[in-house]
Amino acid sequence: MNTLEKINLLNFDRKAMQAFFAELGEKSFRADQVMKWIHYYGVTDFAQMTNLSKALRQQLQEKTLLAVPEIAMEQLSKDGTCKWLLRLNDGNCIETVFIPEDGRGTLCVSSQVGCALNCTFCSTAQQGFNRNLTTAEIIGQVWMAVRRLSQQNNEHDRHVTNVVMMGMGEPLLNFDNVVSAMNIMMDDFAYSLSKYRVTLSTSGVVPAMEQLAKLSEVALAVSLHAPNDTLRNELVPLNKKYPLKELLAVCKTYYGNDKKRKVTMEYVMLEGINDSKEHADQLINILHGVPAKVNLIPFNPFPNTKYKRSKQINIDKFRERLMRAGLITITRKTRGDDIDAACGQLAGQVKDLTKRSARAKLAAMEVAVEARTDLNS
């Protein structure tokens, strides 16, 4: 059996792994053992899985493989943030970011090659879209990061304690593979992350949010970014399909009867666009009755963007106004911007099937030509 025909075991969460071993005529506990070898111990050589029979190890060697994305580039920020460019087997590249903090290490994981949405303030969206990542390509980012960080010699511990599905792509448009990967993240035989430490961020795919609430207990973050439909239609075009009323209705019931948990509302601060006192008041109004906390994100610029970061004094005033109204509000620290690893800056290398990136470059060239013409006239 050649490599292309072999089954990548990283595509299986525990339930799928158990089904696979049942097909081989093996007991379900074999799935638990192999899960632990792969994810807990990081072993990819079946010969080293010594609590499996020699015959089973030979069968796995013949029928399966353990393939993770290849590190094409590693960049380390002055603040300790680490970004990896990972090459997939089709030549596309995605980006994964590790953000170290005191007692905490957050891994930002991608779910798609590029992004199918077109949020105007996000660099990833400008790259266009190629395809969804497989479960193996999603969990492979976690597998890679855990091993790579353990190899690095640093003064401080660099361990993955939290995972956020906030990298390239809209996770809920790759629902099954993302849920399967998150199941592995929380599995006791894999990475043992609690439901409070795995967060999925969505632009607001309402039907998938409803389905996620039924199938998973992971934390939810919503890319809100605007307090009214008119502005959000511009910043997050998906809002035209799922407007704020529908989106916030799901947020109200997402955690069911658990009164302690809150949906994180992500709000990128754009100068002169969404950072006024009136916008703050509108945000307070629409979040009334929603179990929410607000995460203000200073805009991180990227080439050819029309947006600017809000002034710090305006961000502070915005935050104070929300807090006076009783909303838990924090301002996210900008991390890794010197290596383009900050929120909204991930780009990767995308074979753009949407031609969006080509259209954007053409539009930028036309603007430049018009500007030169105006100067010469």
Show me where the domains of the chain are located.
3-65, 70-359
- Alpha carbon distance 12, 20 (integer Å): 9
Predicted local confidence at residue 363, as pLDDT: 44
Residue 352: which pLDDT band, with cuts at 50, 70 and 90?
A: low
Residue 367: which pLDDT band, with cuts at 50, 70 and 90?
A: very low
The answer, yes or no, to whether residue 361 has pLDDT greater than 80, is: no
The answer, yes or no, to whether residue 139 has pLDDT greater than 80, is: yes
Predicted local confidence at residue 129, as pLDDT: 86
The answer, yes or no, to whether residue 211 has pLDDT greater than 70, is: yes
The answer, yes or no, to whether residue 38 has pLDDT greater than 80, is: yes
First CA to last CA across the chain, in angstroms? Answer: 68
343 is catalytic: yes
The answer, yes or no, to whether residue 289 has pLDDT greater than 70, is: yes
Judging by beta carbons within 10 Å of its beta carbon (0-12, 13-18, 19+), is residue 333 exposed, middle or buried? exposed
What global pTM score does this model have? 0.89
Predicted local confidence at residue 124, as pLDDT: 74
Percent residues over pLDDT 90 in the chain: 75
Percent residues over pLDDT 70 in the chain: 86
CATH class of 3-65: mainly alpha
Predicted local confidence at residue 2, as pLDDT: 66
Predicted local confidence at residue 341, as pLDDT: 56
User: How confident is the model over 319-346, as pLDDT tens digits?
Assistant: 999 999 999 999 998 776 676 655 655 5
User: How confident is the model over 64-80, as pLDDT tens digits?
Assistant: 999 999 999 999 988 88
- Alpha carbon distance 23, 348 (integer Å): 38
Close Cβ partners of 62 (under 8 Å, ≥ 6 residues apart): 1
137 is catalytic: no
Residue 123: which pLDDT band, with cuts at 50, 70 and 90?
A: confident
Do 70-359 and 3-65 have the same topology in CATH? Answer: no
Judging by beta carbons within 10 Å of its beta carbon (0-12, 13-18, 19+), is residue 241 exposed, middle or buried? exposed
| CATH architecture for residues 70-359 | Alpha-Beta Barrel (3.20)
Predicted local confidence at residue 335, as pLDDT: 72
Q: Which residue in 82, 93, 95, 137 is the catalytic one?
A: 95
